[in-house]
Chain A
């Protein structure tokens, strides 16, 4: 029986001002699961991630991590090292003046020594094919490079599960394929928010849907592949 990573029971969240972002969410996310999260803009997907990470406090409901109910918001300190969140905008995640410092930031906060943190950072960068990026200034990186460095900052904390918020947004086809390869190669459970159906079909086992703050976990939504035909032409096009 796999262990549940995250258990949410009746989680609701209302923004100050009265807009209900999450409405009685129930979710159990097991170790080894790879789940996609689909839904229109403003349906509460990012808010859900921020609630799970303890960045926002739910208005009501209960949460448990790895089977342990969360009692005190201070418990989130231990959650950070077990669950990693990849932000939508890499510029939010990369705030240090050099790539190496950014990747070493998490391990240093977790109490690693300077030498250890540098070793972990270098290994993580190498694992993602980012050797030689150590001294680069994050702002000068391309969108794809920023995405991979952000992923490195999360992976450097050796989490057990990942939350990825629209990881393919703004990536070209080649970088997207590289990201798929990297994610497939990780021995981690993850929840992915994305509007990119083909991407979800390739790297997740099931897809949940969100709409107006409600989460639909029934197998109502299911991605499937089907054959289609169209006239052959000279214009580049994409198959989804």
Chain B
């Protein structure tokens, strides 16, 4: 077998392992489905009752925000699972096997794409119940979901890198929460970034999360002519910006995470 064939075969083996794990651990999948539902309902009924937007309902505005919030949060599962495997010595076993070193991380991140699909489906269904609608052409809507999944995949390599450098599940969880909260909330997910004070506005508009949210708002048709798009380049070209961000994250973090994995031992 060539190196590439080996890497693919090993990647498939590890992906199967992760799918089995998801099936056997209902708590993990249950969390991935129910948390987003709770968020949709809370935001729809709590903030949705208070906030008025020109030309569109707040529920339609915030649902893309919740989509992206969920994939950012669930990328933490990638990192958390990796720290657990590291601690239990499973990586020691893998690393003494003649397998491709990239396979473990590829298998983990691909398994997490399935978790994201489950989350997105449950959120979209609940979203439809509370009044969110797709106003665009079907192919645009499909593209919207694909863009989301691509960014989610790229982002899970970021959390994999962080997890492998922090090593313990507890530390990882703390750091990941501290980093991901501002990433989600200092964006256009739930508020109109043009109304933020100066420096915060710049930060929010160049935040990659904002580009992703703007991209899917446009692809799902959840925009309003009465709400002007900010002048920042990523929000003017949100789909391109999202693709560039995803590519950049993959280029930087795939080799970085793989390198850390190769040196990772349980203790």
Note whether A and B form a binding pair.
Answer: no
> Which residues from chain A sit less than 8 Å from chain B, CB to CB?
none
